[in-house]
Structure 1
Amino acid sequence: MDGSGTITWETFLENAESFLRVSDKLLDGWTFHGEKDVPGQAYLARQAKIFIPIDDGMVNSAEATDDWCEELGSVLQEDPFVGASSPESPLITEHHILWSLSYSVPVLYFNAWKSDFSGMNVVSVEEVQKYLHHLDLKYTELSQAIHPIVGTPFLFLHPCMSHELLRNTAKSKNQLVSWLSSVAPAAFHLNLNTEYYKLT
Structure 2
Amino acid sequence: MGDLSWKDFMSQAKQFLKISQQLGDSWMLEEKDSNEPNTFLKFNQKMKCQSEEGYSEGLVNVEYHVVYSVSYQVPMLFFQAHRSDGSLLDLEATWKLFMPETKARGLYQILTQMDHPVLFRPFMALHPCRTAEVLKQFGQPSDNQVLTFISLYGPHVQLHLKNAYGLVQEYT
Q: Distance in 2 between matches of 1:157 and 1:102?
A: 14
Question: 1:6 is matched with which residue?
Answer: 3
List runs of 5+ in structure 1 lacking aligned partners. 70-86
CA contact (8 A) 1:46 1:96 kept: yes
Compute the displacement of 1:165 (Å): 1.5
Task: Kindly tell me the number of residue pairs found equivalent between the two proteins.
Answer: 165
Compute the displacement of 1:176 (Å): 1.1
Q: Distance in 1 between matches of 2:121 and 2:34?
A: 23
Compute the displacement of 1:177 (Å): 1.0
* 2:111 matches 1:152: no
Determine which structure has more spread, i.e. the larger CA radius of gyration. 1
Task: Give me the CA root mean square deviation.
Answer: 2.5
CA contact (8 A) 1:34 1:42 kept: yes
Give per-residue Cα distances to partners, 1:73-132, cap 9 Å, x unaligned.
xxxxxxxxxxxxxx46121110000001111100000011121x6xx2211221222234
Question: 1:76 is matched with which residue?
Answer: none
Question: 2:91 is matched with which residue?
Answer: 125
Where does 1:1-200 land on structure 2 (aligned, <5 Å)?
A: 4-34=1-31, 37-50=34-47, 52=48, 54=50, 59-60=51-52, 87=56, 89-115=58-84, 120-135=86-101, 140-169=109-138, 171-187=141-157, 189-198=158-167, 199-200=171-172
Q: Which has the higher strand share?
A: 2
Percentage of identical aligned residues:
28
SS at match of 2:120: coil
In the superposition, the TM-score normalised over structure 2's length comes to 0.83
